[in-house]
């Protein structure tokens, strides 16, 4: 049962109040209208009663009053009038006689009255004698008072009735509808995702859901809505869980993938032109590749992070984000100092993702391979050249050996006859008593040619008879000074010496003297008595080699002769045999060194003899 307290507490139940107010208004209006009708009917009835009283006076009293007047019995007349006055609503009666005298009863009134007049006359013979006028005044005050009393009673009764009915309606409305509405309101107010476990229940309606009245339909609808919602939420929860799981998997994959991954968003200027991009997300591999932490780059633009990033790279990525056409390229990214394989694609407009693979190791391996390949080619070339040189040397050695044998036997056979010719020529020159100039000239020519022939034979013997050097510690400065003093150098040639440091080489003094002497002779020959001869000695290759340079400002060597000059018997000189440089080459070679030549025709030549420097023996 509904508790009274609960009922009172819910008196501010607005729907009920509104409902009751409407009932009150309607019932009051009806009461008012009913009362008005009733009053108007009562009023008409009272008026009718007054008129019927007037008629009754006419019918019942007028004759007797006329008779009383006829006999002029005033006392009786007054009694009669008083009798009439007692009739309902009669206020005042007045008889006006012919002489204008008046007999009246009651209190005269002018307001709220109805008046009626009766002519009083008597037939006497054939004449009608006028006796006077009876004026009857009926008061309406009694009518009004009665009406008022009625109104008061009616309204009082109606008010009490309406109050009782309203209270009854309120209680009934509250019991039947109001409390359930409040329950529904409370249920709806507290309805949330966390409190959906309880269905809506209305007291007194639980078992009667199948009755299908409006409330039970409402309860049923709310509960089925709740069930649908629960099902939907369960479905959504399930989907959300699946989504979270796949997101977790993707995130894990994203973070753990070995390739660097970064998602970017295009930044546009005010006029809409794209000009930069900002980092939205990066994975761990990206952090490792670039050396930049997530926290430092997320939300920042690439130009904030790499102010000197190549503009062309930014443009390439912006193009991908706008055209949504993926690109792939390999590039050495200066900003991170690595070779990267870059794949860029756009997952949605104005965004692009970049996948980076560090290919620095591969590139390095490729470069090393290329280097090694080139080096291999160099090695092969060097070996080929060495082989060719060795072959040439072998050929030259063979040639020299043959030449040596020939030279040995020829020189043996020719030396004695040449010595005989030489001494005979001297004898002839000194024994002829009066020789003419012509004879002397011819004898001297014989002596000259014998000398030349002897020189050729000696050179041949030098060339073919170079033995293994007898090495000793030689001071290069001393060596050069000695040679310069021994070689014939015309005074017209300036000699410039650059020998500041003391350099020691292991060498055969006589053989090296032959080398430097031959080179100086060639330089002097090339300068034709004027020019500068520069002699210098220095160390090279971290002190491992000594370099002796003989430089002249002479005629120079034609490029096509450079490869020929070290071959025996190559000479461009009228008196030259072409053995000098061959001997130099042989000797230097036997000392573990080599000769280089640079020359410019018309400007001069430079011969550099490289010899290993002397190393003190430390092992005792």
Residues that bind ligand ATP (CB under 6 A): 518, 522-523, 526, 552, 554-555, 557, 565, 570-573, 576-582, 605
Q: Give, to the nearest 10 degrees, the angle between helix 141-173 and helix 14-56.
A: 160
**Shorter beta-carbon distance to ligand ATP: residue 53 or 605:** 605
Measured CA to CA, the distance from residue 262 to residue 278 in angstroms comes to 10
Torsion angle of alpha carbons 33, 34, 37, 43, nearest 10°?
A: -120
Which of the listed partners (ligand ATP, Mg ion, none) does 358 bind, with a CB threshold of 5 to 8 Å by partner kind? none
DSSP secondary structure string, 561-572?
A: HHTTTTSTT---
Whole-number minimum distance, CB 387 to ligand ATP, in Å? 25
Is 582 an interacting residue with respect to Mg ion (CB under 5 A)? no
Q: Name which position in 580, 582, 588, 591 contacts Mg ion (CB under 5 A).
A: 580
Tokens of 412: 């043996």
* Three-state SS at 484: helix
**Listed ranges 186-194, 296-304, 330-338, 518-526: which one lies at the site for Mg ion (CB under 5 A):** 518-526
568 binds Mg ion (CB under 5 A): no
CB 266 within 8 A of CB 351: yes
Q: In this complex, which beta carbon is closest to Mg ion, that of residue 216 or of residue 522? A: 522
Return d(Cα 569, Cα 565) in angstroms, integer: 9
Contact of 116 with 34, CB cutoff 8 Å:
no
We find the least distance from the C-beta atom of residue 577 to ligand ATP, in angstroms, to be 4
Nearer to ligand ATP, 293 or 601 (CB): 601
141 vs 603, beta carbon nearer ligand ATP = 603
Please give the backbone phi and psi of residue 196, each rounded to the nearest 5 degrees, phi first: -100, 5
Give me the least distance between CB of 583 and ligand ATP, in Å please: 8
Under 8 Å between Cβ of 131 and 122: yes
User: Residue 139, CB half-sphere, CA atoms under 13 Å: how many?
Assistant: 20
Smallest separation, CB 480 to ligand ATP (Å): 16
Partner whose binding site includes residue 534, from Mg ion, ligand ATP, none (CB under 5 to 8 Å by kind): none
Q: Rounded to whole angstroms, how far apart are CA atoms 415 and 512?
A: 26
* Tokens of residue 33, six digits: 């209208």
Q: Please, which residue, 556 or 593, has the CB nearer to ligand ATP?
A: 556
User: What are the angstrom distances between the C-alpha of 179 and each of 201, 338, 507?
Assistant: 12, 78, 130
554 makes contact with Mg ion (CB under 5 A): no
Short-list 145, 154, 170, 172, CA closest to 30: 154
The Cα–Cα gap between 348 and 344 comes to: 12
Of 52 and 529, which has the nearer Cβ to ligand ATP?
A: 529
CB of 499 to ligand ATP, least distance (A): 20
Q: Is the dihedral of CA 53, 55, 57, 60 positive or negative?
A: negative
What is the C-alpha separation between 300 and 411, in angstroms, rounded? 94
Closest contact distance (angstroms) between CB of 508 and Mg ion is 20
For 545, half-sphere exposure in the C-beta direction (CA atoms, 13 angstrom radius) is 15
Of positions 522, 534, 582, 586, contacts Mg ion by CB under 5 A = 522
Q: Nearest approach, Cβ of 575 to ligand ATP (angstroms)?
A: 7
CB of 410 to ligand ATP, least distance (A): 17
Q: Which does 565 bind (CB under 5 to 8 A by kind): Mg ion, ligand ATP, none?
A: ligand ATP
Residue 526 binds which entry of Mg ion, ligand ATP, none, with Cβ cut-offs from 5 to 8 Å by kind?
Answer: ligand ATP
**Considering the complex, what minimum distance in angstroms separates the CB of residue 552 from ligand ATP?**
5
- Of 278-286, 347-355, 453-461, 572-580, the window that binds Mg ion (rule: CB under 5 A) is 572-580
Distance between first and last Cα of the chain = 130
Residue 605 partner contact from ligand ATP, Mg ion, none using kind-dependent CB cut-offs of 5 to 8 Å: ligand ATP
Return the closest-CA partner of residue 43 out of 182, 136, 140: 140
User: CB-wise, 137 or 522, nearer to Mg ion?
Assistant: 522
Instruction: Report the C-alpha gap between 90 and 172 in whole angstroms.
Output: 53
Q: Tell which residue, 576, 496, 567, has the closest CA to residue 537.
A: 496
Nearer of residues 56 and 571 to ligand ATP, judged by Cβ: 571
Report the residue number, 578 or 612, with the smaller CB distance to ligand ATP: 578
The H or E element that residue 92 is part of is strand 90-97
Q: Could you tell which of Mg ion, ligand ATP, none binds residue 83, using a CB distance below 5 to 8 A set by kind?
A: none
3 state DSSP class of 351:
strand
Nearest to 540 by CA among 531, 527, 551, 549: 549
Q: Residue 532 CB: number of other CB atoms within 10 A?
A: 15
Which CB sits closer to Mg ion, 354 or 512?
Answer: 512
Name the minimum Å distance from CB 604 to Mg ion.
16
Q: Which of residues 459-478 bind Mg ion (CB under 5 A)?
A: none
Minimum distance, C-beta of residue 411 to ligand ATP, in the bound complex (Å): 16
Give the residue with the Cβ less far from ligand ATP, 236 or 573: 573
Work out what residue 132 binds among Mg ion, ligand ATP, none; the CB cut-off runs from 5 to 8 Å by kind. Answer: none
Q: How far is the CB of 522 from Mg ion (least distance, A)?
A: 5
- In the complex, the residues that contact Mg ion under the rule CB under 5 A are 522, 580
């Amino acid at each position: 049962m509904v508790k009274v307290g609960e009922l009172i507490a819910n008196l501010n139940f607005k729907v009920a109040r509104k409902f009751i107010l409407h009932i009150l208004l309607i019932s009051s209006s009806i009461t008012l209208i009913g009362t008005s009708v009733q009053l108007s009917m009562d009023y008409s009835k009272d008026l009718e009663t007054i008129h019927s009283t007037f008629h009754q006076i006419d019918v019942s009293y007028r004759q007797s009053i006329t008779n009383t007047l006829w006999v002029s019995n005033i006392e009786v007349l007054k009694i009669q009038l008083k009798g009439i006055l007692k009739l309902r609503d009669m206020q005042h009666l007045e008889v006006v006689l012919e002489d204008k005298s008046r007999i009246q009863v009651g209190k005269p009134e002018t307001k709220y009255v109805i008046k009626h007049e009766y002519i009083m006359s008597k037939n006497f013979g054939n004449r009608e004698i006028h006796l006077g006028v009876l004026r009857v005044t009926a008061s309406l005050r009694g009518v009004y008072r009665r009406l008022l009393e009625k109104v008061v009673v009616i309204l009082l009764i109606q008010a009490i009735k309406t109050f009782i009915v309203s209270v009854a309606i309120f209680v009934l409305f509250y019991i039947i509808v109001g409390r359930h509405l409040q329950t529904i309101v409370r249920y709806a107010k507290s309805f949330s995702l966390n409190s959906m476990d309880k269905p809506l229940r209305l007291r007194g309606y639980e078992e009667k859901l199948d009755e299908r009245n409006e409330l039970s339909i409402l309860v049923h609808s709310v509960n089925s809505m709740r069930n649908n919602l629960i099902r939907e939420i369960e479905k959504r929860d399930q989907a959300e869980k699946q989504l979270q799981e796949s997101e977790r998997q993707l995130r894990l994959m994203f973070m753990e993938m070995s390739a660097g991954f970064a998602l970017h968003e295009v930044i546009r200027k005010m006029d809409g032109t794209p000009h930069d991009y900002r980092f939205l997300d990066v994975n761990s591999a990206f952090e490792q590749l670039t050396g930049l932490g997530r926290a430092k780059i997320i939300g920042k633009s690439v130009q904030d992070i790499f102010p000197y990033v190549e503009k062309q790279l930014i443009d390439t990525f912006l193009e991908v984000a706008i055209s949504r056409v993926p690109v792939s390229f390999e590039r050495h990214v200066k900003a991170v100092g690595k070779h990267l394989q870059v794949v860029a694609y756009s997952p949605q407009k104005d965004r692009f993702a970049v996948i980076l693979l560090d290919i620095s190791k591969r590139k390095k391996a490729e470069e090393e391979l290329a280097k090694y390949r080139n080096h291999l080619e160099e090695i092969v070339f060097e070996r080929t050249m060495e082989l060719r040189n060795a072959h040439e040397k072998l050929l030259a050695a063979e040639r020299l050996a043959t030449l040596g044998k020939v030279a040995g036997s020829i020189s043996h056979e020719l030396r004695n006859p040449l010595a005989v010719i030489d001494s005979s020529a001297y004898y002839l020159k000194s024994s002829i008593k009066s020789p003419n100039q012509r004879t002397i000239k011819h004898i001297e020519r014989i002596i000259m040619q014998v000398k030349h022939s002897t020189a050729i034979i000696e050179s041949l013997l030098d060339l073919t008879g170079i033995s293994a050097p007898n090495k000793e510690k030689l001071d290069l400065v001393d060596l050069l000074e000695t040679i310069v003093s021994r070689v014939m150098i015309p005074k017209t040639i300036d000699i410039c010496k650059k020998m500041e440091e003391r350099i020691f080489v292991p060498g055969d003094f006589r053989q090296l003297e032959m080398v430097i002497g031959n080179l100086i002779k060639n330089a002097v020959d090339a300068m034709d008595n004027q020019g500068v001869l520069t002699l210098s000695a220095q160390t090279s290759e971290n002190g491992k080699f000594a370099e002796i340079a003989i430089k002249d400002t002479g005629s120079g060597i034609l490029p096509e002769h450079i490869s020929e000059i070290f071959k025996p018997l190559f000479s461009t000189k009228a008196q030259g045999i072409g053995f000098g440089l061959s001997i130099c080459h042989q000797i230097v070679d036997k000392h573990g060194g080599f000769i280089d030549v640079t020359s410019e025709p018309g400007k001069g030549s430079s011969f550099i003899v490289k010899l290993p420097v002397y190393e003190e023996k430390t092992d005792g």
